[in-house]
Structure 1
Amino acid sequence: MSQKPSLPKGMRDFGPMQMARRNYIINSIKSVFEKFGFMPLETPAMENLSTLTGKYGDEGDQLLFKVLNSGDFLSKTSANDFENGSKSMLPKISEKGLKYDLTVPFARYVVMNQHDITFPFKRFQIQPVWRADRPQKGRYREFYQCDADVVGTDSLICEAEIILMINEVFDHLGFEDYTIKINHRGILSGIAEVIGAQGKESDLFVAIDKLDKIGLDKVCDELIERGIPADAVEKLKPILTISGSVQVVINNLSGLLGNTEAGKKGINDLSEIFSHVKSLGLENSNTAVDVTLARGLSYYTGAIFEVKINNVSIGSVSGGGRYDDLTGVFGLSGTSGVGFSFGIDRLYDCLEELNLFKENTQTFSQVLIVHFDEDSMNYGLSVLSELRSNGIKSEIYPDQTKLKKQFSYADKKNIPYTITIGSEEIKSGKLALKDLHSGNQESLSVDEIISKLKGA
């Protein structure tokens, strides 16, 4: 009995149409990264488990896909190991794991190659990562990450360039209504100090970050539940409701947090970033200072970014921030950097929801050669060769069959043009070029067809 084919849970195939759209997104991002001087990097699918474990917290360690040692992987184990459970067993049967993200392998690469790298080191990486998570809608066990980082500099020009790159990528993809939310770790620490919640920062930040989802009243309730005094929560309320233009928010924060060292640093950094953005020629940067943004605070130490496309059902599509010590865990301390990533799957969903995919992103061949018989098919092969040598994506229907079937093939594959060849066309050298969208047809020489299709 034949086996019914299936995929492992949480894995996906991408058909030709999806791949064309994904490649359109990836190529748009890649061209902007390269334009800004970022260099491509790839790291292997597998890393040593010693590289990966302990970097993502206990939950992350649980979600690592472990790879069994090749050969007789049980030969080094004993009955005792079985009895002692997986913690005792694992080191003896698995030394490697699939990578969980792109950041830890990047840090490992930087440390291993520190003497060959030119710092500041600007790299981008677009690769799949794997997590043994419970699959559900929008959450997969294999998915792509798309990261860009600069390490080896404290310069805030890097943050300004991130704002420029996000604007340029979104401009290219056709998004018009989006917000790049920015905050700073120093501003959050300054808030904690001003309201008298030092030592309770993590409770404070976790609750503040939910403001968008649950509203101010529920955030305040949660803060009190987490043991933050009621008077501190009262002092916090007016800070969380600050809004307005970037300059208005910065001015308000200066008045409230200017006497705290951390707050002052955060405000000065943001002012400098926006000054660089202006010097780099971007007037409308789609940015907003959001004092409630508190993502990734276990490792971000400076500016924090999160990007939301407005009027879509999807959450954030990009995020990042500055970190002081990416490589310290591998023995190279004091390497400051800043990075951010685009969510390719989320961008795909937003483009689909807003109907922004261009038709030409789904076109594989520009023209199909259609023929009546063996002679016209053989003549078509020489025409095909000329088209391809001029860089035109083209194909010939490979079988001799009815014209209707050949035209149906072009239609299903979204091929915009056909060239029909019969005995008359072979005699005259004038071939029938048909535009399948408009229905217009004209008789042209091969050279005329090439110049028309190159201009199409």
Structure 2
Amino acid sequence: MAKPSIPKGTRDFSPVEMAKRNYIFDTIREVYALYGYQQIETPAMETLQTLMGKYGEEGDKLLFKVLNSGDCLCNVTDEELLQRNPAHLAAKICEKGLRYDLTVPFARYVVQHREEIQLPFKRYQIQPVWRADRPQRGRYREFYQCDADVVGSDSLLNEVELMQIIDTVFTRFGIRVQIKINNRKILSGIAETIGAGDKIVDITVAIDKLDKIGIEGVNKELAACGLDEDAMSKLQPIISLSGTNDEKLETIAQVLSESETGMKGVEETRFILDALKNCNLTNEMQLDLTLARGLNYYTGAIFEVKALDVQIGSITGGGRYDNLTGIFGMPGLSGVGISFGADRIFDVLNTLDLYPKEAVNTTQLLFINFGDCEMNYCMPIARRCREAGIKTEIFPDSVKMKKQMAYANAKNIPFVALAGETEMAQNKLTLKDMQSGVQELLTVKELIEKLKY
């Protein structure tokens, strides 16, 4: 019989891996809370009406669609089946899909619950999402996102605050990153200036792949979507700008001086970068005019974070999306958000070995089981240890001590408590440090004081 397996692009997580993942989630959750964000959750499935058309043509192709319950083919004719048109068939046999990200479900949530929420509404959400992508290193079909969004405020101080959140989270992790920033209005201004204003979506989708396919690959994609050589030649120096953020802004402001939209993007970007100069960020902010974020709903500032010491894709991204809730019948509500890619952060922390020991070692103390009498003595002590916040286990079976010690070693439990006739007669325990091998005879109070810090 063949061994069971899981779908490509998905993963099982061991207890140690889950301890590491919870460290990531807890760190992000704590930082979000520091800035006044509140947690919500939305269903794994949304209606396709909610999801389709929100991520661009490429995003729509990556949606996992869910077959209707019961006879999903009841409304499909034999002729339609023979035509083998996937998009047409999916529209008839699928009404739901797995969420592609957390932003669109959040926009749906805001519209659906608009009478219950207080604007501006600051929420965070830590849940899995699914994409029918080609699995590769750092890219999965099922992965967690850790989003924070603000809706109901046009203020650019929200963008400034989100950049501080990003900086704080990665500083706590000990990961050196570069925070890239751009603005979709700048990109629209560029398209307008080179005479290709109607091809803004094609241009952003293409240049967003610059890191993956290089400038030649980008130019091929641009040519394929109808951009002429004159427009492409004007685009090259713009996306290759170098220098400081201020120098890039000054140059691009000159290039876009005739574009009202482009100049608005320059002003917004300058405000954000100038405000951040006073925030003493640990990590570098970089204006990157090739940053496009290939999702159609972004309308203003856009962000992306790259790890400096590990070769991996973006580990955080986000941006301003003025029109998203308008799609659901609530126009005029502006929003901005970020999303931490927990799975990629997990890989980066693993590669750099940055997990604190206390985050990985779940159990701190194991009581060795010598028999019923000894366990009756140890169980109240174990309860007192837990009340003091010490993560404590009692080995359930009275087996050879070698086996119990092997269990402690296998689980990386740092301390073992032993209580035999001698210890019980003195109302004490022997505490063994599993790393050094040092043993101490301690009272319960002394043991708790030693382990609780």
TM normalised by structure 1 equals 0.90
What is residue 270 of structure 1 aligned with on the other side?
269
Matched residue SS, 1:148: strand
Q: CA deviation at 1:225?
A: 6.0
**Structure 1 portions without partners, runs of 5+:** none
Counterpart check, 1:340 vs 2:338: yes
Could you report, residue by residue, the CA deviation over 1:400-431 in whole angstroms, capped at 9, with x for unpaired residues?
11111111111111111111111000001221
Matched residue SS, 1:316: coil
Residues 150 and 338 of structure 1 are in contact (CA less than 8 Å); yes or no, is this contact kept in structure 2? Answer: yes
- Taking the TM superposition and a 5 Å limit, the aligned residue runs for 1:141-152 are 141-152=141-152
Residues 138 and 312 of structure 2 are in contact (CA less than 8 Å); yes or no, is this contact kept in structure 1? Answer: no
Residues 56 and 295 of structure 2 are in contact (CA less than 8 Å); yes or no, is this contact kept in structure 1? Answer: no
- Taking the TM superposition and a 5 Å limit, the aligned residue runs for 1:210-249 are 210-216=209-215, 219=218, 223=222, 227-249=226-248
- Taking the TM superposition and a 5 Å limit, the aligned residue runs for 1:38-437 are 38-57=37-56, 60-70=59-69, 94-176=94-176, 178-216=177-215, 219=218, 223=222, 227-279=226-278, 281-296=279-294, 298-437=296-435
Could you report, residue by residue, the CA deviation over 1:122-149 in whole angstroms, capped at 9, with x for unpaired residues?
1111111233445455443322122111
Give the whole-Å Cα distance in 2 for the aligned partners of 1:222 and 1:93.
33
Residues 185 and 297 of structure 1 are in contact (CA less than 8 Å); yes or no, is this contact kept in structure 2? Answer: no
Distance change >3 Å, CA 87–CA 133, structure 1 → 2: same
Residues 123 and 150 of structure 1 are in contact (CA less than 8 Å); yes or no, is this contact kept in structure 2? Answer: yes
TM normalised by structure 2 equals 0.90
Q: CA deviation at 1:158?
A: 0.8
Matched residue SS, 2:408: helix
AA aligned to 2:255 is L
Matched residue SS, 1:199: helix
Give the whole-Å Cα distance in 1 for the aligned partners of 2:318 and 2:186.
16
Q: CA deviation at 1:272?
A: 1.1
Q: CA deviation at 1:214?
A: 4.6
Matched residue SS, 2:148: strand
Residues 125 and 148 of structure 1 are in contact (CA less than 8 Å); yes or no, is this contact kept in structure 2? Answer: yes
Q: CA deviation at 1:287?
A: 0.2
Distance change >3 Å, CA 79–CA 209, structure 1 → 2: closer
Give the whole-Å Cα distance in 1 for the aligned partners of 2:217 and 2:60.
32
Distance change >3 Å, CA 203–CA 6, structure 1 → 2: closer
Matched residue SS, 2:147: strand
Q: CA deviation at 1:101?
A: 2.2
AA aligned to 1:159 is E
Give the whole-Å Cα distance in 2 for the aligned partners of 1:122 and 1:154.
13
Give the whole-Å Cα distance in 1 for the aligned partners of 2:44 and 2:224.
43
Q: CA deviation at 1:221?
A: 6.3
Residues 434 and 441 of structure 1 are in contact (CA less than 8 Å); yes or no, is this contact kept in structure 2? Answer: yes
Matched residue SS, 1:263: helix
Distance change >3 Å, CA 215–CA 70, structure 1 → 2: closer
Q: Which shows bigger deviation, 5-14 or 383-392?
A: 5-14
Q: Which shows bigger deviation, 365-374 or 85-94?
A: 85-94
Q: Which shows bigger deviation, 101-110 or 154-163?
A: 101-110
* Identity across the alignment (%): 53
Could you report, residue by residue, the CA deviation over 1:1-48 in whole angstroms, capped at 9, with x for unpaired residues?
x78433344432211011001111111111111111111010112223
Could you report, residue by residue, the CA deviation over 1:67-100 in whole angstroms, capped at 9, with x for unpaired residues?
4454566677777876677777767765433323
Residues 121 and 150 of structure 1 are in contact (CA less than 8 Å); yes or no, is this contact kept in structure 2? Answer: yes
How many matched pairs?
452
Matched residue SS, 2:368: strand
Residues 297 and 321 of structure 2 are in contact (CA less than 8 Å); yes or no, is this contact kept in structure 1? Answer: yes
Residues 111 and 330 of structure 2 are in contact (CA less than 8 Å); yes or no, is this contact kept in structure 1? Answer: yes
Give the whole-Å Cα distance in 1 for the aligned partners of 2:74 and 2:213.
54
Give the whole-Å Cα distance in 2 for the aligned partners of 1:188 and 1:32.
31
AA aligned to 1:106 is F
Q: Which shows bigger deviation, 215-224 or 394-403?
A: 215-224
Could you report, residue by residue, the CA deviation over 1:183-236 in whole angstroms, capped at 9, with x for unpaired residues?
112222232333444334344334433443454566556655655444444443
Matched residue SS, 2:198: coil
CA RMSD of aligned residues (A): 2.7
**Structure 2 portions without partners, runs of 5+:** none
Could you report, residue by residue, the CA deviation over 1:148-192 in whole angstroms, capped at 9, with x for unpaired residues?
11111111001101110110000111113x111111122222323
Matched residue SS, 2:185: helix
Could you report, residue by residue, the CA deviation over 1:217-260 in whole angstroms, capped at 9, with x for unpaired residues?
66556655655444444443433332222222222223332342
Q: CA deviation at 1:381?
A: 1.4
Give the whole-Å Cα distance in 1 for the aligned partners of 2:375 and 2:159.
58
